A and B are shown apart, each in its own frame.
Chain A
Amino acid sequence: DTAVSQTPKYLVTQMGNDKSIKCEQNLGHDTMYWYKQDSKKFLKIMFSYNNKELIINETVPNRFSPKSPDKAHLNLHINSLELGDSAVYFCASSHLDEQFFGPGTRLTVL
């Protein structure tokens, strides 16, 4: 059974386009997160939602907009994609401190 799933796994797109990444968790967790991992493998938190409410919003360009339709889903929409957005985006969920990560979405902006 997949605990935290993301779609798509790979996304290749042109600069200026708008794209979305979806995340779902079946662990019954209250809190979900988006992380960005750059080419040097540094993982940085972007957003966190608890029971559909935004609780962490790090310094992220407002081209990135998370949406949580219910507590099992947290989607990430990115407008006007730039070259620097190329990275692996990980979704995660937690009940307490231990976070479970999805398989990641590798975004390449050309």
Chain B
Amino acid sequence: EDKVVQSPLSLVVHEGDTVTLNCSYEVTNFRSLLWYKQEKKAPTFLFMLTSSGIEKKSGRLSSILDKKELFSILNITATQTGDSAIYLCAATTGTASKLTFGTGTRLQVTL
């Protein structure tokens, strides 16, 4: 059975801190690894990673994939209270673009 595991499950940091969120996966027919941010409503897309070792960056957020060790990390630098959310990692598999989600990391950024 396909499995995606995220750690930590929850994290509380102070504004300005840097955080690293982890995602490991064990799936068949891996295609890509996606990161989403979920605040109060729908998950919103952050990154899609398909190649090992190539960092994707968007402002203070960056992510990288290691296809040999089967994991990805999401870094957030200089955290702000608006970064408080659940961060979801998902692996896409097969030809049908099936997404298998991890349990998420709940990040809380305090003043």
Contacts and interface: CB of A to CB of B under 8 A. Distances in A.
B92 A97 contact: yes
Interface string B44-58: 110010000000000
Contacts, number: 55
Dominant secondary structure of chain A at its interface with chain B:
strand
Interface stretch (B16-24, B35-43, B62-70, B75-83): B35-43
Interface in A26-54: 31, 33, 40-45, 48, 50
Given A41-B38, A50-B96, A101 B43 contact: yes
Interface string B85-101: 01010101000111111
11 contacts: A33-B99, A41-B86, A43-B88, A43-B90, A48-B96, A94-B97, A96-B97, A101-B42, A102-B42, A104-B41, A104-B42
Nearest to A90: B42
Contacts of B86: 41
Interface residues of B, number: 23
A99 B45 CA distance: 8
A100 B45 contact: yes
Between B45, B88, B97, the greatest number of chain A beta carbons within 10 A of the residue's beta carbon is seen for B97
A55 interface: yes
